[in-house]
Structure 1
Amino acid sequence: MNIISTDSLKNSILASTPEVDSTILEELCFLTRKHNLKWVPNKEDNGAYYIMSQLSVAKGLDPEDYRKHWSPEAKSTPAAKGRQLESLPGKAFLLKGKSLARFKKTYEETYGKSLGRASAIRVGDWQHAYAYLIQGKTEAAKDFQSLGSRAIEDSSTKEIKRINNSQNPPVKLISENELQDQIIKLTAYSTINLRFEVGIKNSFNTPDEASHRRWDWVEQLPRVVKVYELKARTISENDIKNTLYSKHYLELAAQKYNNKPIEFIFTSPNGISWEAKALIRELMNDQLGYTNIQGVKAKISFVDLQDISQRLVDNIVNNNPIESWFWLLNKLRTEDLNFVVSPRTISKLNSQVSQAYMDGTLVRKSINNVVSINSLDIAA
């Protein structure tokens, strides 16, 4: 059975990790093709397994690099004394005996090559393998960084889970595309001018060889251009590095919107890591205003997606008659917009509507024009 194709790789990973982020999966397939990485499926629990010494070579290092510096056994060696070795996530195995024989047989059937007489082989699952690949400063390591750190985060393999208030509620999985669709819908009701999926030709030579880049959405104001980068999971330090350095999003924005300062805003409904916040502070030199970043007059920040939704809801309320507020409230409650809108925003709008009815600003209309005879005074 030939399983060299990345379609087979994709299916194997989906079988073991069905909730894996689709974007990460596509990047993994691309990088496996580009670097000619060889993987073997586990017929018992599915998944993709890589030979760690081969990954050392793919990084441009000695075949023994993983064993000496990153394998579980490396911690107990004399070389580990005086320094703490970082543990890599995922699963790692030292195959011997029957397990090794089965692995060798599958490898030879797949690639038509023998692994020789090795008495033991270290392998790692796809998360462990990519966690290793992103360590270091070789070109190959840099190429894998955007995938690796995301693949090893729990939030990368589990999309945001939102649970309703009913008994035994089902789990709702929501992707970045779904989040963006909801923001687009809210924006359409507002007077705020956001342009979504704005593209530009990629003028940088990058490892992924992308012909163009796209920003999630852009807001052009008279004195500044705001570029938004949306993530469904918690924003990580690597998200910022990958966006600004690997993909050059900030520099591309400066090319497209020349002579204007750029405010680059990372947003997520699931917060930002401490490391990412620290990196933003460093990039901003602890300043609140604009500073020079990669030759661009820019400001980097994080804004909760719910805060952006609050701004949109406030705009809709302020630009529409009070009679339409209940209509908006009903949409926020019933059309899954509550996945991007905070419960506090919904509660606030509900209080505004309730107060309007209480003080008479809003009057409930009769269901029909029929008046009960018992309510009329009839003269004798």
Structure 2
Amino acid sequence: MDIIKLKNSILAANPNADSTILEDLCNLTQKYQLKWVPNKDGGSAYFVMSHLSKVKGLDLDDYKSHWVKLTECGERTSSESLSGRGFKLEGEKLATFKKNWQEMWGESLGRINSIWVGDWTHAYSYLTQGTTQAAKDFQTLGAKAIGSSIKKDIEELTAPIIKVDRTLIYNSGYSKEEHLQRDLCYLAAHSPYKLSAEISVEDYPGSRTQHRRFDLVHVQPHKSKGKVVTTYELKKDIITLEDLVMAVEAKRYPDLIKLKYGTSNIKLIMVAPFGGTEEALVRCQQYDDVEIWTVRKLSLFLLEKARKYHPTDSYFVDKMLVEDNDTVKKLLTIPQLPQEESKVLHFPTKKLAA
């Protein structure tokens, strides 16, 4: 299936769709020959979640077993740990979906009574979970796309001078990490996705410090895993290779998080306005539980949580929160370097072990 058709279908329903996520999903769809169908209006894209489980090398029931939760009424709903929306189709809705699938792909989904499907952002989120080769491939595509996106934006906005002074990066992002932390907590407060700030943990015996503090932490109860812990470490400008290695290998943040919360189901996400340098993004692929995001990517994630929390009040989310709120607008805007400076992001770092 033509990838251009997938992209156009998503953009038809989501004209402001995040270009990085969209490109990632298109690349993975092409590589793994993922199948999808649009909605009844010919827009967006919906994937069969069990098909994605198979691509990841997992049991076909992995999504239903681990990412769907029971409500108080006994109904099964898609987990809030994943972005986007998942749906259980039955009856007429299932019949319509099966008909669209048959028309688009020329094949039947078989005699089934129900099926779980996810929109394109839900599929994206599910594919990034775990350590299977497909998940790692997707995360690698994501890192490259983010790096390319940042580089493209900077190249378009800056003149071709040879070197960048890091102080210019400082001045182009946030003046203090505390301000970035405050703004992200503000956005998160518009949904049930709770971010706790400055969580203190005891450091390892013999360390030079008694405690370490994590900038932002989200703890999500999980039916089979007990809980899933996501920790966000913030930088006010850009994440270098040295920043990454110090956090993961020297300070051992992932291990400290596991000890603090008594679970191996953790994720350390390092966040900065400019994301990470090329060296940091490449090195990050060596760590199973670590990712690098731009502030904009995290903000879009939090905005989607707010949108799901206000399903019938799109005016509040899209107008009052996004267009009219200076705090949220800053979070969603990739910072710009002064035009007289370089388009090359080069930061000398100490030599680190491979």
Indicate the TM-score class for this superposition, using the shorter chain for normalisation: 0.3 to 0.5
Quick check: which has more Rg, 1 or 2?
Answer: 1
Structure of higher RCO (CA pairs closer than 8 Å, 6+ residues apart): 2
TM-score computed with the length of structure 1 as normaliser: 0.42
